[in-house]
Amino acid sequence: MQISRDPGPINELLNAPGVREMHNLPGQDAPIDCTILLESGGFSVVGDGYGWLFNKVGYRTYETHTAILPEKRGALTLKKTRECSNHVFLRTDCMETVTRCPATNIPAIKLTKMMGFTELYTAKGVFGGVDLIVYSLPLSHWAARAKDFRKIGRDFLTDTSDELRNQYYGIATAMSAAGNPEKAKHVYSIWATMCEQNHSGVN
């Protein structure tokens, strides 16, 4: 699974049968070309029939669009989507991902909630008359759920009894290794500040 700004692989996935129909307006079947979105600061995460487009919609905020081939959907979908999320938060400047799910697409809504996204509001009738529910996953919410990184903390820290510290230390270590040292410092320092003993008397 790779982060890419080459439109070729993600365009191929978005235009595959069983995928393009989910992204075109109801009743339309026009070819999809995300080149301009990538040239405007977006990127994709692609690999082995799985793909996600992230177009920039604000300061370090990206909207994600899923493009998974029909034969790849199933038991591995959640695992692969979490891997994608890890890549995005570890390796890019992304501080928040947002997504829009058609109110009628129950599987997409279920997956979005399982990923930890929070519902924000509903965009009424913007998808050819279909309502889109808007969800958000900020960096802080992703980090709070990223328990897989605890192993890294256990491998590096002397005192491994604090699993939450292991988790945030692991995230920061992985983020630094991915070329994001300032972002790693940001994540770890906020956790440390919130969890340290409060001596000021201010709650």
The neighbour count for residue 178, using CB atoms within 10 Å, is: 17
Confirm if 59 and 20 have CB atoms less than 8 A apart.
no
The token pair that represents 63 in the structure block? 């909207």
The amino acid that residue 140 corresponds to is S
Domains of the chain (ranges, CATH numbers): 2-142 (3.40.630.30), 146-196 (no CATH)
Confirm if 190 and 164 have CB atoms less than 8 A apart.
no
Q: Is the dihedral of CA 70, 71, 72, 76 positive or negative?
A: positive
Q: In percent, how much of the chain has pLDDT > 90?
A: 83
Q: How far apart are CA 46 and CA 97, in angstroms?
A: 17
pLDDT at 38 over 70: yes
Instruction: Write phi, then psi, for 95 (nearest 5 degrees).
Output: -110, -15
pLDDT at 28 over 90: no
Share the mean pLDDT of the chain. Answer: 93
Residue 152 confidence (pLDDT)? 95
pLDDT at 201 over 70: no
Q: How far apart are CA 55 and CA 36, in angstroms?
A: 9
Q: Is the dihedral of CA 124, 57, 9, 139 positive or negative?
A: negative
Q: Read off the pLDDT of each residue in 122-141 and give the average, rounded to a whole number.
A: 95
Confirm if 76 and 41 have CB atoms less than 8 A apart.
no
Q: Which stretches of the chain are DSSP H helices?
A: 7-14, 20-23, 35-39, 77-91, 106-114, 139-145, 150-156, 163-177, 181-195
Of the two residues 160 and 98, the one the predictor is more confident about is 98
Cα 64 from chain centroid? 7
Q: Read off the pLDDT of each residue in 130-140 and give the average, rounded to a whole number.
A: 97
Q: Read off the pLDDT of each residue in 102-114 and give the average, rounded to a whole number.
A: 94
Q: How far apart are CA 123 and CA 14, in angstroms?
A: 23
Which pLDDT band, with edges at 50, 70 and 90, does 203 fall under? low
Helix or strand run (H / E) with residue 5: none
49-91 pLDDT, tens digit per residue, is: 999 999 999 999 999 999 999 999 988 999 999 999 999 999 9
Residue 17 confidence (pLDDT)? 92
